[in-house]
């Protein structure tokens, strides 16, 4: 079996040298110089030319505003081809042992690790985040594949002894073809978060990236191919809502895993329900970060910055409602404002940059609109919240803004209730633990939360009472692949990362074995 796979691997490697030229070219890439002309669809083990190009949508480089490539959405025939290709690969992949799958996945992790710098650069050009962040994202990606490779060989059921020598056992089996629908804030990382547990369990996946960040998911498909997966095991189809609808409705799809907004998540759930498909939803958030007066002040300030300004604030689990105990409010505000003003904004490919460009012009305008609305409702802008034009001429068309701190906020303000998805921090004072927990939970979201305190009893007590899928104690926005991530309430259900995710990409079969005669009432 593996001699045969080895021959496929060698052939793939020779053929993929040209397909991977875009990754290799990243060594000398700089902002504003890349034009992607390769096909962005991928199934059957190769990039696929779109059937029609009439519905092409321009994809912009966030840092410059120039057109990076054209995204051509897949229609019904193309979606059907990709899913059938995935099903064919699933029939082969699912018959391998967990250890056999693990070897291929470990090779994929090794390739990503080897090419991390170039993949990160491509991610930055397509997404706009700083290179320092993108490098971490790519590390998290290969770690995720490596982690689930380690679990693949341990997938097992149970043995149950029954009366009279009879027994039963359970088998943990794959679901089949899974659909992954990704978001634009972590394009490559989300593709691995969804595909790694799916593949470890023996499934195939058809992945649809965000139409705004279509470039790097295809690189992951080529890496899986190079590592030795069957042709079609991980496919990429491009498109927006219409393509997503075709995927959710397709009768050969067993599961849909979606990352994105609450309104779109509701539609995905509704469409998938018609086929009784399993669904994982990782949706939005408006997470509380609670800072008590007995905190380690330096760590609390750093935590608040990490909770609000990673990826230009475009992170679903960001702690954008920062509750600060009244006694330390003036000191905290002064320090946070000082450090926010000092955040270097500019070319995201420069190592010194800490804040790049927002994903698009409409997103930038939306975030600036929230700041304007906050001022109308009585909030005070302590810093930022304005369009930013870097001095570098090539960045003048980019989607930059200064990170914003809002004071004088109330719980009923729009900026406090709604997910802004931009670099805007709302600071609110509180007095007592009971009060702040009640206010923190007064939201339809429940993705994440955080607390800074030196009181260990209080830390665990608050964590217990916060209605959120994750609670960070004395830190924020760290996402180890070993621990589950997902939401409460309207932030979704199901989990990504951690061992529990294997349960969301597999199903249990019970086998009952009678060792004696059948007892019949007839």
Six-digit token string for 97:
């042992």
CA–CA gap between residue 310 and residue 133 (Å, rounded): 8
Six-digit token string for 227:
């590592």
Could you give the residue numbers annotated as active site? Answer: 282
Closest CA to 447 of 471, 464, 427, 463: 471
Which residue's structure tokens are 């397909």?
19
Q: Which residues pair with 169 in a beta bridge?
A: 159, 511
Contact indicator for 416, 319 with CB cutoff of 8 Å = no
CA–CA gap between residue 297 and residue 56 (Å, rounded): 51
Helices 76-93 and 241-249 cross at an angle (nearest 10°) of: 50
Question: How many contiguous H segments (helices) and E segments (strands) does the chain have?
Answer: 17, 20
CA–CA gap between residue 206 and residue 250 (Å, rounded): 12
CA–CA gap between residue 155 and residue 171 (Å, rounded): 9
Dihedral, CA of residue 325, residue 331, residue 333 and residue 334, to nearest 10? 180
Q: Sort 163 into a burial class: Cβ within 10 Å, 0-12 / 13-18 / 19+.
A: exposed
Distances (CA, A) of 219 to 42, 215, 229, 300: 10, 7, 14, 38
Strand ranges, E, within 61-213: 67-71, 159-161, 167-174, 177-181, 204-208
Strand ranges, E, within 117-191: 159-161, 167-174, 177-181
Contact indicator for 497, 484 with CB cutoff of 8 Å = yes
């Amino acid at each position: 079996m593996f001699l045969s796979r080895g021959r496929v691997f060698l052939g793939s490697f020779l053929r993929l040298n040209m397909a991977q030229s875009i990754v290799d070219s990243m060594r000398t890439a700089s902002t504003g110089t890349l034009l992607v002309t390769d096909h962005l669809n991928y199934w059957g083990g190769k990039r696929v030319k779109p059937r029609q190009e009439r519905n092409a949508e321009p994809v912009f480089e966030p840092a410059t505003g120039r057109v990076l490539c054209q995204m051509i959405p897949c229609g019904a025939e193309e979606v059907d081809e990709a899913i059938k290709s995935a099903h064919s690969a699933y029939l082969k992949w699912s018959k391998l042992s967990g250890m056999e799958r693990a070897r291929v996945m470990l090779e994929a992790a090794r390739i990503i690790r080897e090419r991390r710098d170039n993949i990160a650069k491509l991610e930055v050009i397509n997404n706009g985040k700083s290179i320092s962040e993108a490098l971490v994202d790519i590390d998290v990606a290969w770690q995720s594949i490596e982690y689930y490779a380690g679990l693949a060989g341990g997938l097992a059921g149970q043995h149950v002894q029954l009366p009279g020598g009879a027994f039963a056992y359970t088998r943990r089996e794959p679901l089949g073809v899974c659909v992954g629908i990704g978001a634009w804030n972590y394009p490559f990382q989300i593709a691995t978060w969804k595909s790694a547990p799916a593949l470890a369990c023996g499934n195939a996946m058809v992945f649809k990236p965000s139409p705004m960040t279509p470039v790097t998911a295809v690189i992951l498909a080529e890496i899986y191919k190079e590592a030795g997966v069957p042709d079609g095991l991980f496919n990429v189809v491009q498109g927006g809502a219409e393509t997503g609808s075709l995927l959710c409705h397709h009768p050969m799809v067993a599961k849909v895993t979606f990352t994105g907004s609450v309104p779109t998540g509701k539609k995905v759930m509704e469409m998938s329900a018609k086929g009784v498909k399993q669904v994982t939803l990782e949706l939005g958030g408006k997470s509380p970060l609670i800072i008590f007066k007995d905190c380690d002040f330096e760590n609390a300030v750093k935590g608040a910055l990490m909770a609000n300004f990673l990826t230009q604030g475009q992170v679903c689990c960001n702690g954008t409602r920062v509750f600060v105990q009244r006694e330390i409010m003036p000191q905290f505000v002064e320090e946070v404002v000082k450090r926010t003003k000092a955040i270097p904004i500019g070319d995201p490919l420069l190592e010194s940059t800490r804040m790049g460009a927002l994903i698009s012009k409409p997103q930038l305008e939306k975030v600036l609109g929230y700041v304007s609305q906050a001022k109308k409702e009585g909030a005070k802008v302590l810093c930022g919240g304005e369009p930013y034009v870097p001095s570098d001429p090539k960045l003048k068309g980019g989607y930059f803004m200064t990170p914003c701190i809002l004071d004088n906020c109330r719980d009923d303000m729009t900026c406090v209730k709604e997910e802004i998805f931009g670099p805007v921090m709302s600071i609110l004072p509180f007095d007592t633990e009971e009060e702040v927990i009640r206010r923190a939970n007064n939201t339809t979201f429940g993705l994440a939360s955080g607390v800074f305190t030196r009181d260990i009893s209080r830390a665990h007590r608050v964590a217990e009472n916060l209605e959120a899928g994750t609670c960070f104690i004395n830190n924020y926005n760290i996402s180890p692949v070993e621990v589950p991530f997902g939401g409460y309430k309207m932030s979704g259900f199901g989990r990504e990362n951690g061992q529990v995710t294997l349960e969301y990409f597999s199903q249990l079969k019970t086998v009952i074995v009678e060792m004696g005669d059948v007892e019949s009432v007839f």
